[in-house]
Amino acid sequence: MSRDGIYNSDIHSKGFVFDDKVTTVFSDMINRSVPGYGQTLQMVELISHQYAQPGTNLYDLGCSLGAATMALSRGSSGKDCKVTGVDNSPSMVKRCKETLKEESVKILCQDILETEIENGSVVVLNFVLQFVPKVKRLTLLKKICRGLKSGGVLILSEKIAFDDADENRRQAELHEAFKRAQGYSDLEISRKRTALENVLVPETLRVHHERLKRAGFSSSNAWFQCFNFSSIIAIK
């Protein structure tokens, strides 16, 4: 796995993009930047095992290099499910297809706003909705809910914000402490914060739960939280 040193220089500071440079170091970057990322993958597999309905479709929207796609595939093995991973970054998709060429999963290079969801039982948005423009988030969740069978689930993992400004600051500081403990320097942390401004737009858990309800889900609950990162399971 190549080590992420992208923000040792400031060439990316203008705005974060999922290009070749990011793709090359992505596994290291996400593991050292998102507390609990590995656990979300383990639980995607477990939730997939529990909720994948025989003969249905499973979707990993914003699949990057296919880590959660493979978790869906492992969790649903033996149930005759079709697993599709979708990402709109050509370099991510190229690398993902190379890595998973032996696996029986389909990988599409597509905007998830265009993806057709049908006969679904498990859909994953693992740290992806935060990159979708706010005004399009409800439409996307409505489409996902429509494409799920009754009893189907959406796993929604996100960086989150807090209504209280002090709490927001405390949680952001804890996240930065996590990144320092993972070997990132203060300069790298601050450059990445600048690069992600207006690109990664977090919302509160309250806003997520309200939106999931409006989208048609009958229940939503956070099954995981570490600092300002959380994962929700929403049931149709």
Binding site for ligand GEK (CB under 6 A): 18, 30, 62-64, 67-68, 86-89, 92, 111-113, 126-128, 131-132
Nearest CA to 81 among 97, 60, 96, 62? Answer: 60
CB 137 within 8 A of CB 202: no
What's the CA gap between 51 and 11, in Å, rounded? Answer: 43
Minimum CB–partner distance for residue 111 and ligand GEK (Å): 4
Cβ nearer to ligand GEK, comparing 55 with 205: 205
Smallest gap from residue 58 Cβ to ligand GEK (A): 14
Q: Specify the DSSP element, H or E, that contains 73.
A: helix 67-75
The least CB distance from residue 35 to ligand GEK, in Å, is 12
Residue nearest to ligand GEK (CB): 62
**What is the spatial distance between Cα 236 and Cα 234, in angstroms, rounded to a whole number?**
7
CA geometry: angle 160, 31, 23, nearest 5 deg: 100
**At its nearest, how many Å lie between ligand GEK and the CB of residue 16?**
8
- Taking the least distance from each CB to ligand GEK, the nearer of 54 and 232 is 232
Please identify, using beta-carbon distances, which residue of 45 and 87 lies nearer to ligand GEK: 87
Largest CA distance in the chain: 49
For residue 99, list its beta bridge partners. Answer: none
Q: Which is nearer to ligand GEK, 128 or 233 (CB)?
A: 128
Q: Which is nearer to ligand GEK, 107 or 128 (CB)?
A: 128
CB of 217 to ligand GEK, least distance (A): 20
Q: How many Å apart are CA 53 and CA 121, to the nearest integer?
A: 6
Q: Closest distance between ligand GEK and the C-beta of residue 5, in Å?
A: 16
Q: How many residues does the chain have?
A: 236
Q: Which is nearer to ligand GEK, 57 or 91 (CB)?
A: 91
Q: Answer yes or no: are the C-beta atoms of 41 and 18 closer than 8 Å.
A: no
